[in-house]
Chain A
Amino acid sequence: MTAALPTTIFALSSGQGRAGVAVLRVSGPQAGKVVEILAAPIPKPRKAALRKIRHPNGEIIDEGLVLWFPAPGSATGEDLAEFHVHGAPAVVRLLIEVLSAQEGLRLAEPGEFSRRAFANGKLDLVEVEGLADLLNAQGEAQRRLAMRQFLGEASAVYERWRGDVITALGLHEAAIDFSDEDDVAAKALEAARPVIGGLVAELRNALEKSSQNAAIRSGLRLVIAGPPNAGKSSLLNALAGREAAIVSPIAGTTRDVVEAQIMFEGLPLTLADTAGLREGSGDVIEQMGMARAQSEARDADILIWVSAPDAAEKVGPPRKPDLLVENKADLDSIRSRNDSALLVSTKTGFGLNRLREVLKNLIHVKLAGAEDAIVVRQRHVLAVEESIRLLNKCLGESGRAAELVAEDLRGAARALGSITGHVDVEDLLGKIFSEFCIGK
């Protein structure tokens, strides 16, 4: 067995948002080759060189700075290249696509750069732990962001993908491990094909939707929810600085989700105002509005829960809000029900500056770290593309050895697992034993 080299990884390592400059780092044994392909010749070590960065097909992607840090004198201790390009999302996206297409290269897992750096003695513990904090804080926000970017809020779809993977792989594993059971023998592989076919169609569909959604949904999503007549729409208008939502003193004015795109602290932010949550409405349209409000609130990057002294709160938030706001501070009867709630009055403007300040901090926490929405989205696109490729391989050439088809299915399950959650052998065995009568 030859000693296998570590894979070469890359990531967008500049800050979040639409920064002026984006920095892409490539670390690992292939880093030098990548520079030769995209921006030859390799610059002198640790000296910035202005280069045209080209697509392997010859087209110029951008002009930017290229830096070369040969091992071990680099941030990770491995050969490392940096591309400083213009921060336009289109440039970054194209560059990531080009890098992903290189043999032996893949997008880094969150924390992987620091892991390598640490393993090679390039980071100390404090730095590693600080980084991990950020990565953990970011994980949840990123996951929600990525989910929305694919299919809106339909998390049920991900569950279905996972279920399909378990079924298809379970059937293949059954065909291998229980081939001597008369219940399994012939049926399993045939039964798997339509499941795989259906999954491929769904994944393709998701990719298409994703590319349509990507442009408008590159920022964080801030959702305003709460009981009816708490002044949620007024808050949206106040933050947006315009009359984006209809405001009236009648409870239940907002029935659907109202969105406003704003730039907040230099970041694209989507504000979403939702129907007030209350009990026992007989109105079908209002009920649908409330259902959407619940799901918006659950999948929000930032959830603001608005209450008011004169708004009866019968239904609580569907998840822990990031921020509690008590509106109508101008009312005489004001008695904050919650010490941690921020007092504002959308009528007088009281507390709104403080709210913006708090929001700014919240956004920083959510976006802290190295990756930005494009990369998150790209990671998921790559995962779905890889799954489609492997699943198609399973459907293709007939007569391939069962264990090789299963190997491709395992690969697809691994790739999709980064979105839907890992599939374990116990999931498969559970499926097998519930479907087939195993055991002579």
Chain B
Amino acid sequence: MNGNFDVIVVGGGHAGCEAAAAAARLGAATALLTHKRATIGEMSCNPAIGGLGKGHLVREIDALDGVMGRVADAAGIQFRLLNRSKGPAVRGPRAQADRKLYREAMQAALAAQPDLEIVEGAATALIIENGAVSGIKISDGRELRAKAVVLTTGTFLNGLIHIGEKQIPAGRVGEAPALGLSGQLAAAGLQLGRLKTGTPARLDGKTINWSILEEQKGDDPPVPFSFLTTRITTPQIACFITSTTARTHEIIAANIGRSPLYSGQISGTGPRYCPSIEDKIHRFKDKTSHQIFLEPEGLDDDTVYPNGISTSLPEDVQEAFIHSMPGLEQVRIIRPGYAIEYDYVDPRELGHDLQVKKLPGLYLAGQINGTTGYEEAGAQGLLAGINAARSAGGSGPALFDRADGYLGVMVDDLVMRGVSEPYRMFTSRAEYRLALRADNADQRLTPKGIALGVVGPARAKAFAARMEAIAAARNVARESLMTSSALAKLGVRVNQDGRSRNAMELIAMPDVGLERVEQLWPALAALPSFAKEALEADALYSGYMDRQEAEIAALRKDEGIAIPTGLDYFAIPSLSMELRQKLSRAQPGTLAQAARVEGMTPAGLACLLGHIKKPRAKQVA
């Protein structure tokens, strides 16, 4: 190690791994700095990847040749496509992962990545020279230099674990927090805040009475995450479902005052969509039972993750309420659940490239930006890694807008609106939801990834082959014709107007659909499943896509109009005072971003546009 890099990534979690891999794929000499090599790719909370909105993000990471999708395919032990009965735009791939296999696959992927070096050590301080970040100091006294630094500290930034009345400074159970960095960020003028998240106890599967519990099997065959994975080969397991009882609710209600959430001991804001069990019971008093999913953490690991009982109650209360649930009467608790508070940086301190505006050369990704979730972290890591490498190489930023993908939606939400709770992706956040599908993530992003140089030749080749297959499938579908009378004979209800229908029209009919159409034309049934999915989306969304594409075109036009940084909104007389203040705070980078500022009017945009296009000389005068 010579101590000089293009890019240093601090943190070996999901953001850090993607950031380091992406920077190295772009050819930047990259270091990944982590406390312990062995915990790279650790799943600190739920051993699962994907879901609704989140699965979209994994596909987008994969489309840009990121690692998460392939690693999850190697480690997945139960795959389920959520919303299978709904249309392709809102289907979300999800998988339970074997935590050890996930770690191993991630570590192997990074080891195989050229230009990437793993460095063990704890970051103690940023090296800041002339107002820009140029490296990292490590606890052993070494200094690593780089042209760009990516911080992905997760919950480690002033991390504080709460278990009942007990408080332990830590980034994860048994791992020291990062203490110096937040002070340095605050000193540089960055707005910091505090958030909270939680995790449930872990249970010993050998002591669970599985026989009385309802089983939940995965999909057969499993649907992989990566566009490059053809088949899942890891053995698949089942999950089981238990539920809280009246006794559980009694125990928790009686002890709620001992939860640091209710005693006032925790100041950080927790996520509304991932409440602790004490929150759920307190807030929804008329609900007498909650489902709890028992998810095995691995094939050769007896640890079980009880999904749905995240808690920070004291250990004795956890013991008591867990034992009150069917199947868990005799269970041994391996380690208690806890809540963790940590510092985050107000993401409005960042540009759309995830670079800190006040500290050039510094990029932030993951929970440090106020998000939650491996997928949100991974996607940001990828973007930060790409931009850190580009900036190290002297190139301008690579940006993704709200029509490019969920990645663009997330980043725009973060940097323009900030967060009030840990930010999680939902499909409802995407205004172009029908266009931003998990199945077409590659069509949306891989060409851009190829142009940026972040997509390798293997994927580029596979992508081209996929596109050919989809084009061929479209031809087959258009040429698959049947007259109305022939359809009627086969039991398909259509208007008897003598007109022939093609397969696309029939797929779009709610009471026909893809499956029935496959029965009518064996040639369609024989198509690869991704091609069928593309046909289904084309058929179902045809009328809506035209409008969405027109909206996207208008958005792109306004995204193309840059607003100079530091524009004085108070010098635009025709904007209302309220808008001047809002725009000043938001500092939009483009006209499209300005349009998304709350309360913005078309008239206001016209003024703003006028002001931007005003000749420089006049502005000085």
Interface residues of A (CB under 8 A from B): 1-7, 109-112, 114-115, 118-119, 123, 125, 128-133, 135-136, 139, 173, 176-180, 182-183, 397-404, 406-407, 410, 422, 424-425, 428-429, 433, 437-440
| Structural contact, A1 and B603, CB atoms closer than 8 A | no
In the complex, what residues of A have CB within 8 A of residue B541's CB?
Answer: 404
Contact of A128 among B82, B540, B549, B607 (CB under 8 A): B607
| Structural contact, B602 and A429, CB atoms closer than 8 A | no
Which 8 residue pairs of A and B lie closest in terms of their CB atoms, listed nearest first?
Answer: A111-B603, A401-B87, A4-B550, A4-B553, A399-B510, A135-B603, A173-B428, A128-B610
Residue of A nearest to B579 (CB): A136
| Structural contact, A115 and B606, CB atoms closer than 8 A | yes
With A402-B87, A437-B290 already in contact, the answer to whether A115 and B273 are too (CB < 8 A) is no
Question: Shortest distance in angstroms between A141's beta carbon and chain B's nearest beta carbon?
Answer: 14
Given contacts A4-B546, A403-B89, 13 further A-B contacts (CB under 8 A): A110-B601, A115-B606, A173-B426, A177-B426, A179-B82, A397-B510, A398-B510, A401-B510, A406-B433, A437-B287, A439-B275, A440-B292, A440-B308
Question: Shortest distance in angstroms between B473's beta carbon and chain A's nearest beta carbon?
Answer: 19
In the complex, what residues of B have CB within 8 A of residue A439's CB?
Answer: 271, 273-275, 280, 308, 310
Contact of B602 among A112, A180, A407 (CB under 8 A): A112
Contact of B52 among A3, A139, A176, A407 (CB under 8 A): A176
Residue of B nearest to A179 (CB): B83
Could you write out 8 A-B pairs with CB less than 8 Å apart?
A4-B550, A112-B602, A130-B574, A136-B603, A177-B53, A179-B52, A180-B82, A439-B310
Contact of A115 among B280, B283, B602 (CB under 8 A): B602
With A183-B287, A399-B511 already in contact, the answer to whether A438 and B82 are too (CB < 8 A) is no
User: What's the Cα separation between A218 and B399 when bound, in Å?
Assistant: 49
| Structural contact, B606 and A114, CB atoms closer than 8 A | yes
As a 0/1 sequence over residues 596 to 621 of chain B, the CB contacts with chain A under 8 angstroms (1 = contact) are: 00100111111101110110000000
| Structural contact, A403 and B605, CB atoms closer than 8 A | no
| Structural contact, A109 and B82, CB atoms closer than 8 A | no
| Structural contact, A440 and B576, CB atoms closer than 8 A | no
| Structural contact, A400 and B510, CB atoms closer than 8 A | yes
User: What's the Cα separation between A294 and B511 when bound, in Å?
Assistant: 55
- Interface presence of B330 (CB below 8 A): no
Contact of A131 among B291, B293, B431, B603 (CB under 8 A): B603
| Structural contact, B287 and A132, CB atoms closer than 8 A | no
| Structural contact, B607 and A4, CB atoms closer than 8 A | no
In the complex, what residues of B have CB within 8 A of residue A118's CB?
Answer: 606, 609-610, 613
| Structural contact, B291 and A182, CB atoms closer than 8 A | yes
In the complex, what residues of B have CB within 8 A of residue A136's CB?
Answer: 574, 576, 601, 603-604
Residue of A nearest to B607 (CB): A132
In the complex, what residues of B have CB within 8 A of residue A114's CB?
Answer: 603, 606
Question: Shortest distance in angstroms between A330's beta carbon and chain B's nearest beta carbon?
Answer: 41
Residue of B nearest to A421 (CB): B599
Residues from 276 to 294 in B contacting A, C-beta threshold 8 Å: 280, 283-284, 287, 290-293
With A115-B609, A429-B272 already in contact, the answer to whether A4 and B549 are too (CB < 8 A) is yes
Contact of A404 among B540, B549, B602 (CB under 8 A): B540
In the complex, what residues of A have CB within 8 A of residue B429's CB?
Answer: 425
Question: Shortest distance in angstroms between B581's beta carbon and chain A's nearest beta carbon?
Answer: 15
User: What's the Cα separation between A125 and B292 when bound, in Å?
Assistant: 62
In the complex, what residues of A have CB within 8 A of residue B572's CB?
Answer: 129
